[in-house]
Amino acid sequence: MRISLWGGGDATTVKDVVGRVGAAAEEGFEAIWFPQTASIDALTALAVAASQVGGIHVGTAVVPIQGRHPIPLAQQALTLADAAGPGRVTLGVGVTHAPVSEGWYGIPYAGIVELCAEELEALAPLLSDARRADVAGSRVTARITLPLSVPAPGLVLAALGPKMLDLAGRLTDGTVTWMTGVNTLGRDVVPRLRAAAAAAGRPDPRVVVGLPVCVTDDVAGARRRIGKAMSGAATMASYRRMVAAEAVAEPVDMALIGDAGEVGERIEALAAAGATELLANVVAEGDEVSRTRSFLASWGRSASS
């Protein structure tokens, strides 16, 4: 299982992104992911970073489809892939949350799965070898062939519920999750995703699992710190459902917290549940930061050797 690093949602300049990508590469991480927030454009910043920092894979987790027509989104992703070189880019997309969809973009969240389906039915072919979309849906129209002979990026969908997992398996390379525990992954997410991929004649899907990680001797302190942030995120309906599905007492129970042995065991359990990549959000203080990042990078190197 690959170990990748969460780049953070607080980068406000291209220089920030380049620096974080460079640091992750120097530490030996195989990949780093950035979200699209109310800040700089993640795809543009990563194109600069990937052209300056070699080797490490880069991805978005995730770019909301709201406000992103599939044609220019495909062009952006292909441009990033060209800047990075073959096999180094994954475009992660999603439908964000109702307050963002309706508050920022003015796009109703009702029917968002249908909108996502039409978006992917155009986007996925544009990122295929054909580079051609011919979609005339009720929400999205995209008719074009892109004459771009550049390496195609991977494509994953942030999918938690059954309908979105079906879309991810049918039209993308897999999923990227957040606030989703090992039991829910093994029982619900991975089997549904694999079944959808198999029915569509696609290979085994990628399962990129995002969770907070902290290697520490102060478990109680780390739980208090991480728990506050996770409890806030769990107010979102989709994450609240994941917490309920995992049947944990608190959202922080899903985080990977403890000494190196304990965190390693939790990583192994995720792999056994079907995760193909841990997207580690290092939430730590003081020397916990270097300790956690060093452990994760070392674990990743051992797993890939």
Each residue's pLDDT expressed in tens, for the chain with a length of 305 residues: 999 999 999 999 999 999 999 999 999 999 999 999 999 999 999 999 999 999 999 999 999 999 999 999 999 999 999 999 999 999 999 999 999 999 999 999 999 999 999 999 999 999 999 999 999 999 999 999 999 999 999 999 999 999 999 999 999 999 999 999 999 999 999 999 999 999 999 999 999 999 999 999 999 999 999 999 999 999 999 999 999 999 999 999 999 999 999 999 999 999 999 999 999 999 999 999 999 999 999 999 888 76
Q: What are phi and psi of 214, to 5 degrees?
A: -150, 115
Structure tokens at 249: 């007492």
CB of 98 closer than 8 Å to CB of 104? no
Alpha helices by DSSP H, listed for the chain, are: 14-27, 42-52, 70-84, 98-103, 112-126, 162-171, 182-184, 190-199, 219-233, 237-246, 260-273, 287-304
Collect all residues with Cβ–Cβ distance below 8 Å to 15 and sequence separation of at least 6. none
User: Tell me, what's the pLDDT at 75?
Assistant: 97
Beta bridge partners of 63: 93
CB of 82 closer than 8 Å to CB of 151? yes
User: Tell me, what's the pLDDT at 303?
Assistant: 82
DSSP state, residue 144: E
CA distances in angstroms from 72 to 39, 76, 88, 91, 146, listed in the order given: 19, 6, 20, 13, 11
Distance between CA 5 and CA 31 in Å, rounded? 6
Percentage of residues in the chain having pLDDT higher than 70: 100
CA distances in angstroms from 289 to 90, 176, 213, 270, 295, listed in the order given: 26, 24, 10, 22, 10
